[in-house]
Structure 1
Amino acid sequence: MKLFSGSVFALVAIAASVALMMLQNVFAETQRAGEYRISGPYTHENLSVFLFHGTNRSAKNLLTLEEAIAQHKVVVYETRNVNELAIENVSDEDVFIESGDIVKGGAQDRTLKDDLILPTKSGRVNINSFCVEHGRWSARGTEPVSTFGSATEALATKKLKMAVKMKGDQREVWEQVAAAQASMSSSLRSDVRAAASPTSYAMTMQAPAVQKSIDGYLRELKGIVDGNSDVIGYAFAIDGQVNSADVYVSHELFAKLWPKLLRASAVEAVSEYQSGKKFEPANVAALKTALADADSAKGFARQLTDRTNVLVKETPRNILFETRDRAQGDAWIHRNYMTK
Structure 2
Amino acid sequence: MKVFSISIGFLCLFVVLMGCKDKSQKPVIAQNTTEAVIRVDGITINDSKTQGNLQLFILSGKEKVSGKRYTTLSEAMDAKKVIVKETGSVNELEIDNNSSDYVFIHSGDIVKGGKQDRTISYDVIVPPQTKNMSLASFCVEQGRWEQRADEMVVAFSSNTKMLSSKDLRLAAKHENNQGKVWSKVSEQKEYLNAKLSARNGYEVDIAANESNSSLQLALESKELKKTKESIYEKLKGLIDTQDAIGYAYAINGEIYGVEVYNNKQLFADLWDKILESVIVEAISEEGEEVMAVKTKEEVLAYMKEIKATDKKTAKKVNAATRFKTIQNEKGNLVFSTEDLGKQQWIHKSYMKIDTTDRAQHENLFLNSRFNIEN
Asked if the contact 1:88/1:123 (under 8 Å) is kept, the reply is yes
State the distance in 2 between where 1:37 and 1:88 align.
38
Q: Report the Cα offset of residue 34 of structure 1.
A: 3.6
DSSP 3-state at the match of 1:91: coil
Q: Number of residue pairs matched?
A: 307
Match of 1:294 among 292, 306, 313: 306
SS of aligned partner of 2:182: helix
Runs of 5+ unmatched residues, structure 1: 1-28
Counterpart of 1:78 in structure 2 is 86
Instruction: Please say if 1:95 is aligned against 2:107.
Output: no
Matched, 1:149 2:157: yes
Q: Does 1:270 align with 2:277?
A: no
Q: Distance in 2 between matches of 1:294 and 1:119?
A: 31
Counterpart of 2:350, as a letter, is Y
Q: Hey, what does 2:274 align to over in structure 1?
A: 261
2:283 alignment partner AA:
V
Q: Matched residue of 2:116: which SS?
A: coil
Mapping for residues 1-340 of structure 1, pairs under 5 Å: 33-58=40-65, 59-189=67-197, 190-228=204-242, 230-274=243-287, 277-296=289-308, 297-315=310-328, 316-329=330-343, 331-340=344-353
Aligned to 2:20: none
Q: CA 1:310–1:34 in 2, change beyond 3 Å: closer, same or farther?
A: farther
Supply the AA of the counterpart residue of 1:167: E
Larger Rg: 2
Across the aligned residues of Structure 1 and Structure 2, the Cα RMSD in angstroms comes to: 1.4
User: How far apart, in 2, do the equivalents of 1:200 and 1:295 lie?
Assistant: 39
TM-superposed deviation, 1:194: 3.4
**Counterpart of 1:327 in 2: which secondary structure?**
coil
CA 1:87/1:34 → structure 2, altered by over 3 Å: closer, same or farther? farther
CA distance in 2, matches of 1:326, 1:255: 22
How far 1:278 sits from its partner (Å)?
4.2
Alignment TM-score, normalising by the size of structure 2: 0.80
SS class of match (2:304): helix
What per-residue deviation string (whole Å, max 9, x for no partner) do you get for residues 122-169 of structure 1?
A: 111011100000111111111111110111000011111111011111
More helix by share: 1
Quote the offset at 1:325 in angstroms: 1.1
> Aligned partner of 1:300: which letter?
T
SS of equivalent residue, structure 1 residue 294: coil
Contact kept? 2:253, 2:290, Cα under 8 Å: no
Question: Is 1:290–1:339's contact at 8 Å kept on the other side of the alignment?
Answer: no
Q: Distance in 1 between matches of 2:208 and 2:159?
A: 18
Q: Distance in 2 between matches of 1:34 and 1:120?
A: 32
Q: TM-score, normalized by length of structure 1? A: 0.87
Secondary structure at the aligned position of 1:328 is classed as: coil
